[in-house]
């Protein structure tokens, strides 16, 4: 007997042909810098998620999912526009209020339509509601996410994973499980772990298993984009999570995980794109960071 069909199906994950990493790879190739091109190629050609923030998302989501469907591939989208996003830190922003957010989610859903897609919903939003951040009404945040889950799961071929932070953040798993239930994880495909973080895969899976048991066997996906060297020693400083030095790319994205409760290894964070202007001279969040990208592949 062969391997069972993955929960997300047999389609390969979508690799954006116009990503910033692909553009950098092309620039190296065109300039004859074959050593750097060869080093960067595994990062540049891997499937990565596409992040959707404040701009009107409908047409962009339609173009992405249409291109992926035509290629027989499964795109991963990140919905990242919740009010009070990132607790006002380097990726601060988000919709102006709840009504604006739900309208935005509706536009994203309209763009996806009936085409297959994975949506990782609101990195950090649930974990921040558990640990607290300034001016955040946790109950209202979780209720809003539940409504967003309802909009997206009404689509016929969309798999929604609620972000749940990472093992280095929320230690109180019963509290996290309760927050995920309030946010609608029971209606979703499951939850996501380690988004934009660097916790080791084995530790993250163990953490996810414990959380899954508290949620009645919920399944999950793991961001492996930058965890190939594991997590740095925690210092409590911004270096722990914002363009953390000494990291490497991790497991290649795949829906064939070999782990019973893990639906996929994903590169949710696009490696090589900055977490933010964490230190002088570093690019803003989402911009290409050439030096950091090369460090992730050992250059």
What is the domain-level CATH number for residue 183?
3.20.20.40
Instruction: Give the active site residue among 16, 81, 86, 124.
Output: 86
- Indicate whether 1 belongs to any domain: no
172 is a catalytic site residue: no
pTM (2 decimals)? 0.96
pLDDT of residue 88: 64
pLDDT of residue 175: 97
pLDDT, one tens digit per residue, over 9-36 is 889 999 999 999 999 999 999 999 999 9
Q: What is the mean pLDDT of residues 54-70?
A: 95
Q: CA dihedral in degrees (31, 33, 36, 42; nearest 10)?
A: 60
Q: What is the mean pLDDT of residues 76-92?
A: 82
3-class state of residue 15 by DSSP? coil
Cα distance between residue 286 and residue 292, in whole Å: 13
Read off the pLDDT band of 87 (50, 70, 90).
Answer: confident
pLDDT at residue 259 is higher than 70: yes
Q: Which residue is associated with the tokens 């190629």?
A: 41
- Indicate whether 104 belongs to any domain: yes
- Domain of 206? 20-296
3-class state of residue 16 by DSSP? coil
pLDDT at residue 94 is higher than 50: yes
Cβ atoms of 180 and 164 closer than 8 Å: yes
- Indicate whether 6 belongs to any domain: no
pLDDT at residue 67 is higher than 80: yes
Percent of the chain with pLDDT over 70: 97
pLDDT of residue 270: 97
pLDDT of residue 85: 80
pLDDT of residue 1: 44
Residue 3's nearest CA partner among 299, 291, 267, 259 is 259
**Residue 88, token pair as written in the block:** 């006002």
pLDDT, one tens digit per residue, over 221-234 is 999 999 999 888 88
The total number of structural domains in the chain stands at 1
Read off the pLDDT band of 4 (50, 70, 90).
Answer: confident
Mean pLDDT for all residues in the chain: 94
For the chain, give the number of residues: 299
- Indicate whether 4 belongs to any domain: no
pLDDT, one tens digit per residue, over 131-168 is 988 778 999 999 999 999 999 999 999 999 999 999 99
Residue 274's nearest CA partner among 260, 256, 286, 259 is 286
pLDDT at residue 277 is higher than 80: yes
User: Residue 157 burial by CB count (10 A; 0-12/13-18/19+): exposed, middle or buried?
Assistant: middle
According to DSSP, the residues that pair with 227 across neighbouring strands are 248
- Indicate whether 247 belongs to any domain: yes
Cβ atoms of 272 and 45 closer than 8 Å: no
Q: What would you measure as the largest C-alpha separation in the chain, in angstroms?
A: 56
């Amino acid at each position: 007997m062969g391997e069972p069909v993955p929960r997300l199906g047999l389609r390969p994950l979508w690799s954006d042909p116009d990503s910033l990493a692909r553009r950098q790879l092309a620039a190296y190739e065109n300039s004859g810098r074959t050593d750097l091109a060869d080093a960067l190629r595994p990062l540049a050609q891997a499937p990565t998620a596409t992040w959707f923030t404040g701009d009107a998302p409908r047409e962009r989501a339609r173009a992405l999912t249409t291109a992926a469907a035509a290629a027989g591939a499964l795109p991963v989208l990140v919905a990242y526009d919740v009010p009070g996003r990132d607790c006002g830190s380097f990726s601060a922003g988000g919709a102006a209020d709840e009504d604006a957010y739900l309208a935005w989610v509706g536009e994203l859903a309209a763009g996806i339509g009936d085409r297959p897609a994975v949506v990782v919903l609101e990195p950090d939003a649930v974990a921040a509601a558990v640990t607290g951040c300034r001016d955040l009404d946790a109950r209202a945040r979780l209720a809003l996410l539940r409504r967003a889950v309802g909009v997206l799961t009404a689509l016929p071929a969309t798999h929604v994973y609620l972000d749940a932070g990472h093992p280095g953040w929320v230690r109180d798993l019963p509290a996290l499980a309760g927050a995920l239930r309030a946010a609608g994880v029971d209606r979703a495909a499951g939850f996501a772990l380690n988004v934009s973080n660097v916790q080791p895969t084995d530790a993250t899976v163990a953490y996810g298993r414990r959380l899954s048991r508290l949620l009645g066997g919920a399944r999950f996906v793991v961001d492996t984009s930058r965890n190939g060297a594991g997590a740095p020693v925690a210092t409590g400083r911004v270096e722990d999570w914002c363009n953390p030095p000494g990291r490497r790319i991790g497991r290649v994205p795949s829906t064939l995980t070999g782990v019973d409760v893990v639906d996929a290894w994903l590169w949710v964070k696009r490696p090589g794109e900055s977490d933010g202007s964490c230190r002088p001279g570093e690019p803003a969040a989402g911009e290409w960071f050439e030096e950091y990208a090369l460090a992730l592949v050992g250059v």
